Amino acid sequence: MTDTTAYAPTDRTVPTRSRDRASYDRATVHAILDEGYVCHLGFVRDGAPVVLPTLYGRIGERLYVHGSTGSRPLRSAGRAEEGLPVCVTVTHVDGLVLARSAFHHSLNYRSVVIHGLARQVTDEAEKRAALDALVEQVVAGRAADSRPADAKELAATAVIALDLTEVSAKSRTGGPNDEPADLALPYWSGVVPLTYGRGAPIPSTDLDPAVPLPAYLAAGATER
Amino acid sequence: MTDTTAYAPTDRTVPTRSRDRASYDRATVHAILDEGYVCHLGFVRDGAPVVLPTLYGRIGERLYVHGSTGSRPLRSAGRAEEGLPVCVTVTHVDGLVLARSAFHHSLNYRSVVIHGLARQVTDEAEKRAALDALVEQVVAGRAADSRPADAKELAATAVIALDLTEVSAKSRTGGPNDEPADLALPYWSGVVPLTYGRGAPIPSTDLDPAVPLPAYLAAGATER
C-alpha cells in the first residue's frame, strides 16, 4: 500500500550519512518550504554545476521557481522538451552548536532537497497563480494588495514548475554530542539560537503619506 | 595590466541579465563570504545537479568546504584527479522590496557564486588550518577555545578546497523600481529590512556551572 503521507525514498534522496536526520514526511517537507521563500536552484550547464539563489512558491505538491526569460536555466527549460534536470534546496539555520571538541561543532538546521525535471510554465492562468504564490510566499496578503502583472510583464517573467515527488527533508536539533571523555574539559558548550526578524518597514520616498502601512506588514513582524 | 583588486570575468560569471548588479571586486566578494558560514555546494552526479547546504571557511583566496569522508561530493573529489567541478553559492537576504506592481517585487540581497574544480585536502597541516577557519567563520574566537581534532577525527573529516578565481558577486539595494504610471496606485511601497541575531546561549545540560560563557559569545550578540 502506498504511504500517501510520505514521499517514496529514492537512491538519491537517501543520504549516505546521518540517515537518522532524513525525513520523507510530506507535512515536514511542506512546513520547511512554507517557512522560506529563497531557494538555491542547481542545474547543469556544459557539464558543470550552476547554483543560483532565487524565489519560489509552493502550490500543493508543486514548486514554482522564479526567473527572467533571459536567464540561463529557464531558457534551457524552455528548449528541453523532456524538462531540465534541476535540484532545488531550501535551508533554514536554527542554531549554532558548540561542542567541547572542534570536531563535534555543528549547526541546527532544517533543509529540503528536491530533485526532478523542471518544465517552463506557459499556460497563462497557471503562470498567474504561480506568481501570486511567489509573492504570497514572501509576504502573505500582498498578492491581492498590489497591481497584477499585465500581459507584457507576464510575458517577461519566466516561471519553472517542479513536482514534489523526489524529495527529502533533513534536520538537526538539540545540543552538542560531546565525547564522554571531553565532558570535563573547561570549554563552554551549548547552543546559540539564531533569530530572524523584520525591521520597521521603510516607505518609498515617493509614497503618498495617505497610504497606510498594511496590516499584513504591521502585525507579527517576525520572519520565522 | 592585470587588475589585482578584481577577479577576471569569464563567460559564466557575466550574468545574462542585471549586469549592473554584478561585481568582480575582491574586497566585495570577501566581505560577503566573511559575513556567512553556510554555502550551497553544487556538483553533478550521474548527469544531474545536486545542491547541498554545508559549512565553509575562507583563507585568503581559497574557500574550504566541509563534509564527511562518506559524503558523495567529497568521495568524488577524492577520486577525480583533475578535481570535482563545483559551484559554491553564498547568499544574504537583506530586505523585502514591495512595489506597487506585483511584477516589480524583489529582494535586496548580496550573493557570491564561485565556479571551479574542488580538490580534496589531504595535507594534515592544511586540513587543520581549514577546520580552524570553518569554526572561526561560525564563531570567531572559538577555534582556540575548544579541543582540537585528534588524528582519528581528522581522518574522519573531509574538506575540499576551491580557489577563488572564477568568482562574481551580485547585489541589489534600495527601494522598489515602480513604473511611473503606478505611483498613484493606493498600494504601500517600500522596503522591509530583515534582521538577523543571536538569542541567549543555552548551555548544555551537562555543562559544569563553573564554566563561564566565553566573551566571544557574550559580546556583540549579532549575527550580521
Across B55-80, average pLDDT: 78
Give which of B140, B159, B157, B152 is closest to B62, Cα–Cα. Answer: B159
Contact between chains at B146 and A102 (C-beta distance less than 8 A) = yes
Contact between chains at A201 and B191 (C-beta distance less than 8 A) = yes
Burial string for A119-134 (b: 16+ CB within 10 Å, else e) reads: bbbeeeeebbbbbbbb
pLDDT tens digits, residue range B149-184? 999 999 989 999 999 999 999 999 999 999 999 999
Higher confidence at residue A2 or residue B5?
Answer: B5
Tell me the pLDDT band of A115, cut-offs 50, 70 and 90. Answer: very high
Give which of A175, A189, A95, A105 is closest to B211, Cα–Cα. Answer: A189
Closest CB to B147 among A87, A101, A193: A101
Which residue is it, cell 524565489? A55
Which residue is it, cell 561585481? B23
- For residues B169 and B24, the answer to whether their CB atoms sit within 8 Å is yes
Select the residue from B97, B134, B147, B154 to test the A interface by mutation, using most A Cβ atoms within 10 A.
Answer: B147
Residues in chain A closer than 8 A to B153 (CB atoms):
101, 103
Select the residue from B10, B103, B110, B171 to test the A interface by mutation, using most A Cβ atoms within 10 A.
Answer: B103
Give the closest-approach CA distance of A47 to chain B in angstroms: 8
**Paired strand residues for A169:** A23, A112
d(CA A89, CA B87): 14
Q: What is the pTM of this model?
A: 0.94
Domains and CATH numbers, chain B: 19-196 (2.30.110.10)
pLDDT tens digits, residue range B109-156? 999 999 999 999 999 999 999 999 999 999 999 999 999 999 999 998
Cβ-Cβ contacts under 8 Å for A134 (sequence gap 6 or more): A37, A55, A56, A57, A64, A66, A159
